Structure 1
Amino acid sequence: MRRRTAALGSAGALITGTLVAGALAAPAASADQRHRPDPETRGTAVAAQRAADQGIDWQDCPADWGLEKPIQCGWVTVPVDYARPNGKQIQIAVDRIGSTGTPTERQGALLYNPGGPGASGLRFPRRVTTNNAIWAGAAKAYDFVGFDPRGVGHSAPISCVDPTEFVKGPKLDPVPDSEADKRAQRKLAAEYSEGCAEKSGDILPYINTLNTARDLDVVRAALGEKKLNFVGVSYGTYLGAVYGTLFPTHVRRMVLDSVVNPSKRKIWYEANLDQDVAFEIRLKDWMTWVAQHDATYHLGDTYAEVREQWETLRADAKKNPLGGKVGPAELIGFFQNAPYYDSMWVPVAEAWSAYAAGDPQPLIEAAAADLTDTAGNAASENGTAVYTAVECADAPWPTSWKKWDRDNSRLHERNPFMTWSNAWLNLPCATWSTPRQQPTEVRTGKGLPPVLITQAERDAATPYEGAVELHQRFKGSRLITERDAGSHGITNLANPCLNTRVEAYLLTGKLDSRDVTCAPHATPKP
């Protein structure tokens, strides 16, 4: 799932061009249904055949995309509504870099989705141009292909508010002190929902995981690939799980890293509640580490002392926003990076330490980065718009404020770091105007090959139970657990126990005979 950004007044991945009709049909409950696939399934087959015939006109990437040669860019045309494949069309932005090995080593295209929903995958080919050693072996065998999912970036982007207003701070403190504070946040959430409908209404009903999975199959066909090789991280795991359910015979290799719990009961309301607990656990891990390095950071030599420093900082920013623009919401938006990614333990601690030592500027600049980066404002607003649109459309959400209030008030008592911030981010779904779908029943379809699942045991954004759930649902899959670790997106971290197995699977398709537990990757050092 995407990194929470400061938002809403709170905090803040066919060689012959021939398609086999039976292979495209989603798993069906009856023989009659098998002979009469639903309109969206038929529409996907039509769109995929068209894309296979047209291919992709690869060109140098536009200069302002920030993608250096030899990366190339192109477009794949998909229908807005798969039930009407000849109706209104949009273009999906894609990019690629060719495999670095010999022609005999090449195994096709490897597609990537980094999560969100709402994140762009176009930077994936840069793992080759920047000489990312972890992916060097896979790069010999595969063209690395990224794409902007529908609604994201260059792929018919949607918007819900003016980007300059979206990033303006300081925002309301996510933690309410009164019923009036809650009413103010509820008003902002309802206005955001209305803004989405007003600014993106025509396409908004079609921004969801099912359609993104169908787009993925059309991109596969446009690439000339008979079967999909795919790496999905965070929300990309749910996208991959839905794709594997809809198109099991179209999967060749699939790595799903840091897994969204695919249970219909969890998508998406309860999944976000589970995050609140997991973030609190991982925040304590980081603050304990900060305390162990008190000689460097001088923020306290016990977890309790470091936590008290956080509460003091938060209170100070509420009373007098730092630099006039960083309040509690912006602080949470910055500090949440540490529970998300081990790579952020040191930068966040350093900025905080400097503030405590009398130099507030590093912390202000880091926490207010979204407020001052004009080029990033639109991307930040767009990412949150897609995040909201997909999660709101994928499943029914509670519409009763009493339920939201009861659930989050209870959780906040023991998990105060992220609970209310997360609630306000998702509250637009309570008043969402476009139709909701029932979540996909993720399961092993006939012909689905073994899938590799990787997960850190203490992941905050996608708690470990999600990987276990998907492992049970995808029969024949293998689960690699990184023990006593909690970074999000572990396939891009240096851990030989994990890296060698991911590479071996991508290159040979072979998996261990049983699930594997790896020791954690190296703990950050000051």
Structure 2
Amino acid sequence: MPRPRTAALATTLLLALTAALTACGDDEPEDLPSQSLSWQDCPEPDSAQGGGEAPTSLPAGGEWQCTTMKAPLDWDKPDGDTIGIALIRAQARREKDRIGSLVFNFGGPGGSGVATLPAFAEGYAKLRSRYDLVSFDPRGVGRSAPVKCENDEQLDALNQEDSTPDDTAEEKALVDGVKTYGEACEKNSGKVLPYVRTTDAARDMDLMRQVLGDDKLHYFGVSYGTELGGVYAHLFPEKVGRAVFDAVVDPTQTTEQATLGQAKGFQLALENYAEDCTSQTEDCPVGDTPQDVQDRIAKLLKELDAEPLPGSGERKLTQTAATSGIAQSLYSKDLWEFLTEGLQDAYDGDGHILMTLADVMNGRNPDGTYSNLQAANAAINCADAKPRYTVADVKAKLPEFREASPIFGDYLAWSMVSCDDWPVDGAADHPDVRADGSAPILVIGNTGDPATPYEGAKRMVDALGEGVGVELTYEGQGHGAYDSGSTCVQDAVNGYLLDGKTPSAGTVCS
């Protein structure tokens, strides 16, 4: 079933503790900031990180290096038990011009930075001229004290369940599934569940800054990574170096507001896809008009609710799986051709492509194992977000969600029950990102972003406080802007990170 992605969208606050520790150096663990990292060749990503091969040599020379940093399990007891935080880096090409480390978080929450950075490194090659490119698995993710809930067989069954119930029996099945999942998380990961909040990860990043030898944290956050960056800036404003937020989470919203925003965002992205397909010179193979495309998709989903199609192996393409696959394809315009092909096949009775797209959304690896994306996503979101939504809450909100998106409304509305009966209380309604005294942060909003709607960028700028956020608009499609291919965006980001040239507030790129 879909997990609420208040950013992916998460909310936080453990501020009394973190503010006290920031102000009082005597409470800092004396040994951890001075620990020496032992960088080694990187192993193959394990199944929790998504599997695959070990990262290859870097295009411009050099090798990927990996290590593990020790951090307190509980930042309230900094001299207590520790956990390992997995790191990866590509060293700067021009040592004499090196600025420091540039730390990446690619979002989720729940995504492995150790596995993701090598996959996208070519796009960040210019930044490597003056930075060590560094990423990490946040606590609870990948190789960093990973949250474990259900096994692969159970997750296959979970992802086949109907996440948009139509009657009382289906509602009960959904709620029972949520409860069973939470109980599995508590049984298998109870020790770590209270300590995976975004505030904990932000404190890990400041420890990382110290261990890497940097006076300031230079940072590139994408999607949920913008929320993590905002929380860091709130806790450590004087330690912010050059920072970029791309695909920006709205830090002012509750889970309900953010999820409704995503319904509108995915609907807009689907409409943009349909307009693009039907405006081509050749006929669009999945509809004659934009509305026809959407009507045919709605009809397909209704039919799948009654009778799923063959998907992959023994698994069926259910209504939920198809909706997940369609949503996944809207994260990048590069995936639109696969959406078209997947819809064509589904109309002909073959659900394999849409199922494959759904597997990507759910963190299912090609060998049938799962990364811990779903588990970490649930654990971080539910530890961050205070609200707990019941079936009655969702049913009261369904008309508003359906109006926002006939295709994704039910799917996203029902995702809000995912934290009901969670074994750890949520921290706050939304994160505090106010960062008075911080260096400028470049905040990039994409007008066609499905997962983090454009309006969130302006709200992040406002929430950071006067003189901190510098907004740049990208008029494009997909989730994020820097990797869109826009030279305007890349030039602005590179100029800021490499040369310290802050673009004019209100700059627009297309």
Deviations 1:249-276 (A, max 9, x none): 111111000111111xx14332122211
Amino acid across the alignment from 1:186:
V
Task: Give the stretch that moved more between structures: 142-151 or 161-170.
Answer: 161-170
Paired with 1:420 and 1:277, the residues of 2 have a C-alpha distance of 12
Paired with 2:397 and 2:80, the residues of 1 have a C-alpha distance of 42
Secondary structure of the residue that 1:168 maps to in structure 2? helix
Paired with 2:495 and 2:481, the residues of 1 have a C-alpha distance of 16
Shift of 1:300: 1.7
Number of equivalenced pairs = 481
Aligned to 1:423: 413
Residues 231 and 433, structure 2, Cα contact 8 Å, conserved in 1: yes
Amino acid across the alignment from 1:336:
A
> 2:113 matched to 1:121?
yes
Q: Mark the CA change 1:200 to 1:40 in structure 2 (over 3 Å): closer, same or farther.
A: farther
Amino acid across the alignment from 1:46:
E
Shift of 1:491: 1.1
Aligned to 1:46: 28
> 2:42 matched to 1:61?
yes
Amino acid across the alignment from 1:55:
S
Residue of 294, 304, 309 corresponding to 1:307: 294
Show structure 2 runs of 5+ residues with no match. 5-13, 47-53, 58-62
Residues 293 and 301, structure 1, Cα contact 8 Å, conserved in 2: no
Secondary structure of the residue that 1:155 maps to in structure 2? coil
Amino acid across the alignment from 1:240:
G
Show structure 1 runs of 5+ residues with no match. 9-25, 520-526
Secondary structure of the residue that 2:231 maps to in structure 1? helix
Q: Mark the CA change 1:388 to 1:518 in structure 2 (over 3 Å): closer, same or farther.
A: same
Secondary structure of the residue that 1:230 maps to in structure 2? strand
Aligned to 2:460: 470
Amino acid across the alignment from 1:290:
C
Deviations 1:387-428 (A, max 9, x none): 111111113113454222211343124423223322343313
Paired with 2:497 and 2:159, the residues of 1 have a C-alpha distance of 46
Residue of 235, 240, 246 corresponding to 2:224: 235
Aligned residues with identical type, % of pairs: 30
Shift of 1:378: 2.7
Paired with 1:372 and 1:83, the residues of 2 have a C-alpha distance of 35
Q: Mark the CA change 1:453 to 1:77 in structure 2 (over 3 Å): closer, same or farther.
A: same
Residues 479 and 516, structure 1, Cα contact 8 Å, conserved in 2: yes
Paired with 2:404 and 2:135, the residues of 1 have a C-alpha distance of 40
> 2:192 matched to 1:203?
yes
Task: Give the stretch that moved more between structures: 393-402 or 350-359.
Answer: 350-359
Shift of 1:27: 9.1
Amino acid across the alignment from 1:274:
G
Paired with 2:445 and 2:404, the residues of 1 have a C-alpha distance of 25
Map 1:497-516 onto structure 2 (within 5 A).
497-516=488-507
> 2:435 matched to 1:444?
yes
Deviations 1:165-190 (A, max 9, x none): 11237723333322332222122122
Amino acid across the alignment from 1:106:
R
Q: Mark the CA change 1:293 to 1:312 in structure 2 (over 3 Å): closer, same or farther.
A: farther
Secondary structure of the residue that 2:473 maps to in structure 1? strand
Secondary structure of the residue that 2:448 maps to in structure 1? coil
Residues 326 and 357, structure 2, Cα contact 8 Å, conserved in 1: no
Amino acid across the alignment from 1:418:
F
Paired with 1:246 and 1:239, the residues of 2 have a C-alpha distance of 11
Secondary structure of the residue that 2:113 maps to in structure 1? coil
Task: Give the stretch that moved more between structures: 203-212 or 289-298.
Answer: 289-298
Aligned to 1:92: 85
Residues 169 and 371, structure 1, Cα contact 8 Å, conserved in 2: no
Deviations 1:137-163 (A, max 9, x none): 211000100100000000010122123
Aligned to 2:424: 434
Secondary structure of the residue that 1:295 maps to in structure 2? coil
Deviations 1:47-98 (A, max 9, x none): 4x53332121101112445223410100110011111011111000001011
Task: Give the stretch that moved more between structures: 312-321 or 51-60.
Answer: 312-321
Q: Mark the CA change 1:206 to 1:68 in structure 2 (over 3 Å): closer, same or farther.
A: same
Paired with 2:427 and 2:351, the residues of 1 have a C-alpha distance of 47
Secondary structure of the residue that 2:70 maps to in structure 1? strand
Paired with 2:179 and 2:266, the residues of 1 have a C-alpha distance of 26
Aligned to 1:22: none
Secondary structure of the residue that 1:431 maps to in structure 2? coil
Paired with 1:302 and 1:89, the residues of 2 have a C-alpha distance of 57
Task: Give the stretch that moved more between structures: 505-514 or 234-243.
Answer: 505-514
Paired with 2:93 and 2:268, the residues of 1 have a C-alpha distance of 41
Paired with 1:105 and 1:186, the residues of 2 have a C-alpha distance of 56
> 2:71 matched to 1:78?
yes
Amino acid across the alignment from 1:151:
G
Amino acid across the alignment from 2:39:
W
Deviations 1:355-380 (A, max 9, x none): 4457655445555676974646330x
> 2:456 matched to 1:456?
no
Task: Give the stretch that moved more between structures: 508-517 or 354-363.
Answer: 354-363
Residues 301 and 322, structure 2, Cα contact 8 Å, conserved in 1: yes
Secondary structure of the residue that 1:161 maps to in structure 2? coil
The alignment's TM-score, normalised by the length of structure 1, stands at 0.84
Residues 389 and 417, structure 2, Cα contact 8 Å, conserved in 1: no
Q: Mark the CA change 1:444 to 1:27 in structure 2 (over 3 Å): closer, same or farther.
A: farther
Secondary structure of the residue that 1:259 maps to in structure 2? coil
Residues 80 and 203, structure 1, Cα contact 8 Å, conserved in 2: yes
Task: Give the stretch that moved more between structures: 214-223 or 290-299.
Answer: 290-299
Q: Mark the CA change 1:397 to 1:37 in structure 2 (over 3 Å): closer, same or farther.
A: closer
Paired with 1:254 and 1:436, the residues of 2 have a C-alpha distance of 28
Residues 325 and 355, structure 2, Cα contact 8 Å, conserved in 1: no
Secondary structure of the residue that 2:394 maps to in structure 1? helix
Residues 473 and 509, structure 2, Cα contact 8 Å, conserved in 1: yes
Q: Mark the CA change 1:190 to 1:109 in structure 2 (over 3 Å): closer, same or farther.
A: same
Amino acid across the alignment from 2:33:
A
RMSD: 2.7
Residue of 297, 307, 317 corresponding to 2:304: 317
Secondary structure of the residue that 2:295 maps to in structure 1? helix
Residues 192 and 428, structure 1, Cα contact 8 Å, conserved in 2: no
Shift of 1:44: 10
Task: Give the stretch that moved more between structures: 110-119 or 454-463.
Answer: 454-463
Amino acid across the alignment from 2:56:
E
Amino acid across the alignment from 1:408:
L
Task: Give the stretch that moved more between structures: 165-174 or 151-160.
Answer: 165-174
Aligned to 2:50: none
